[in-house]
């Protein structure tokens, strides 16, 4: 049977299905692991209410821990406190950028959201130019917005602060 510490190590190798360069632990959604003599319970908090990756993540966690030797694994959902992008680990943020996704600002800096046509420019993750345009408020998933760099002309995504 796996210890809690061993289980954490295993989960650090389970990638987020939508953003495979970071693990579910680095994403900040694994809130707790409880080990008893014959079972492991992993407490996970969802990112967005409608995130279609939630069920894949639970299945990946069960599979990874099962392959590492855990006999019985259950995945529990915990809503409170609500997930925030502030829980994404700092190392992971750098890897997100290298992957072409601008990591989220701290939520405290974006707490006041106004309705406006031109959002604040963010730097292109490839060439660092600030001549960028937001194309859409939602990207391939709810957690991201779609941008384009006007200098290198490459599209990129922004992980929105939540």
Find the shortest distance in angstroms from Cβ 104 to another protein.
Answer: 12
Q: Cβ contacts of residue 145 below 8 Å, gap of 6+?
A: 134, 136, 137, 138, 139, 157, 158, 160
Please give the Cα distance from 130 to 127 (Å, whole number).
9
Nearer to another protein, 127 or 137 (CB): 137
Local structure of 87: helix, strand or coil: helix
Contact between 155 and another protein (CB under 8 A)?
no
Contact between 80 and another protein (CB under 8 A)?
yes
Please give the Cα distance from 109 to 152 (Å, whole number).
28
Stretch that binds another protein, among 6-14, 27-35, 48-56, 121-129 (CB under 8 A): 48-56
Find the shortest distance in angstroms from Cβ 18 to another protein.
Answer: 12
Determine which residue in the list 56, 59, 136, 153 makes contact with another protein, applying CB under 8 A. Answer: 136
Strand partners, 132: 149
Residues that bind another protein (CB under 8 A): 46, 48-52, 79-84, 113, 115-117, 135-142, 146, 160, 162
């Amino acid at each position: 049977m796996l210890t809690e510490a061993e289980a954490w190590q295993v989960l650090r190798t389970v990638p987020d299905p939508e953003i495979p360069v970071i693990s579910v632990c680095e994403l900040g959604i694994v809130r707790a692991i409880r080990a008893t003599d014959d079972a492991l319970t992993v407490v996970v908090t969802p990112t967005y209410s409608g995130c279609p990756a939630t069920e894949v993540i639970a299945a990946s966690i069960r599979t990874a821990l099962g392959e590492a030797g855990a006999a019985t694994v259950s995945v529990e959902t915990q809503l409170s406190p609500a997930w925030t992008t502030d829980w994404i680990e700092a190392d992971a943020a750098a890897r997100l950028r290298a992957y072409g996704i601008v990591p989220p600002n701290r939520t405290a800096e974006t707490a006041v959201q106004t309705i406006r046509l031109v959002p604040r420019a963010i730097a292109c993750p490839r060439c660092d130019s600030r001549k960028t345009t937001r194309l859409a408020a939602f990207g391939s998933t709810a957690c991201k917005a779609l941008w384009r760099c006007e200098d290198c002309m490459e599209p990129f995504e922004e992980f929105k602060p939540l």
